[in-house]
Structure 1
């Protein structure tokens, strides 16, 4: 599928620019343009939207997004070696691609984008979870984005859509499902990438809800779930004792048995506990 835009195949682009993947940057390049186009389509109709892409590398997904009709793409890439290939893509799509040689953790994408905005990215493994949590936990909701279509290690993807009682259930599941509809839309084997990672990958599609499912403070819920699941084998009365001097009474006040473990507690109960901690004014809440 190298003919979608008249640009060379990705293997030729990588060789021409000396763009070998670097482990230090969490890089694994997706080489098949059929797959990158499929990921772009998983984001839904992007023809009237601006798209934020993080970690485009040689630009396989970037080309898919533009070929699928994205109104405008902002590609944020930390690796200066990728600026050449991305400039070639920008030239092939005049006025539709802006490239920032920057760290995605340090920039404000909203300054460069016009709503509606969708985020579509094969996230670098070393910053993917941190970026997701940031996008899920702004104090003001709805967020700047309508949807997130993101590739992760399969294990991380499973954690995002996990249900209570499962081993994968934890902080990511609660933060994602609190404010979004989340589902896994495709899986990719290691051999789809260069170099092949040691794990399978999966793409998760998250659509922002107009309002959170239950009231809670994003900061409090994030701190509560991080604390609860850090010691997930412990009973909540033990794992949460540092959050409130009478944590057993607080748990009971919202219908949670103090002897329960974090993986047994559903989203609604975690939100109720978050509100109770805020009301108590303890531990920085």
Structure 2
């Protein structure tokens, strides 16, 4: 598909504006508008939603989101070189695209969006995981977004949807699956991008649950999961030693063998441990 909206093909846009991807910005441009349209459709019915897009680059996914009927798109782009190309898209879709130049890690999108809100992005590789963790760990739940439709390197996508027992299972899987339904919806080969990365990429769709799957204090859960997986080769009685006094008893109280390793523990058990640690800290504070 060379065009979906009367605008030039992306290769022509990149050539006209001198938009060679910059490695230091984590840029890999997806040029096939068939693929960007598929990603937009994976985000669901957007006709009644505002959509946040981070790192639009020359605007391939932006065009897909608008062509698929997004009510409005807020695109945050750090690279000033991309702004003229994005301005052309905004002109083709009057009143439906707002572009902000800046760092997505430092901008509050809620100042520019109206609910319901969904997030869809081909995230820059160098900030993708950090943004995901921020979106998964807001001060309160449910979050400001209904769903995330995000492209990552395939190995990161595998970590998001991983199940206990494998090397891919870790903190990212626990944080993602505790509060969302997460699934890989599309896999893309390196040659789909310019420049071509060394590995496959994948699009992950995460739908926010109304409530977490199991009760737990999110700060304590994040703390113990991080400690456990930071030393994943160690038994939990060793990797969690600094979490609270008597960690072996706390593990047993949560139904977890102290000799288990982090990758063997499912999300329900991690949450049970978080509740046990919370009670132990409350009791210690009361004495």
Instruction: Note the C-alpha offset of 1:149.
Output: 0.3
What is the CA–CA distance in structure 1 between the aligned matches of 2:223 and 2:133, rounded to whole Å? 12
Partner of 1:219: 219
SS in 2 for 1:281: helix
Partner of 1:154: 154
Stretch moving more, 115-124 or 272-281: 272-281
Instruction: Note the C-alpha offset of 1:166.
Output: 1.3
SS in 1 for 2:155: helix
Partner of 2:73: 73
Cα pair 1:139 1:217 within 8 Å, conserved: no
Instruction: Note the C-alpha offset of 1:280.
Output: 2.2
Instruction: Note the C-alpha offset of 1:175.
Output: 0.5
What is the CA–CA distance in structure 1 between the aligned matches of 2:81 and 2:219, rounded to whole Å? 37
- 1:97 equivalent to 2:103? Answer no
Instruction: Note the C-alpha offset of 1:69.
Output: 0.3
Instruction: Note the C-alpha offset of 1:35.
Output: 0.3
Cα pair 2:3 2:33 within 8 Å, conserved: no
Partner of 1:276: 276
Cα pair 1:138 1:218 within 8 Å, conserved: no
- 1:232 equivalent to 2:232? Answer yes
Partner of 2:127: 127
Partner of 1:266: 266
Partner of 1:44: 44
Partner of 1:248: 248
What is the CA–CA distance in structure 2 between the aligned matches of 1:78 and 1:226, rounded to whole Å? 30
Partner of 1:6: 6
Structure 2: 5+ residue runs without aligned partners?
none
What is the CA–CA distance in structure 1 between the aligned matches of 2:233 and 2:96, rounded to whole Å? 50
Instruction: Note the C-alpha offset of 1:142.
Output: 0.6
Partner of 1:170: 170
RMSD: 1.1
Instruction: Note the C-alpha offset of 1:4.
Output: 1.0
Partner of 1:139: 139
Q: How many residues align?
A: 283
What is the CA–CA distance in structure 2 between the aligned matches of 1:176 and 1:44, rounded to whole Å? 19
Structure 1: 5+ residue runs without aligned partners?
none
SS in 2 for 1:41: helix
TM-score by length of 1: 0.97
Moved beyond 6 Å, runs of 4+? none
Cα pair 1:187 1:201 within 8 Å, conserved: yes
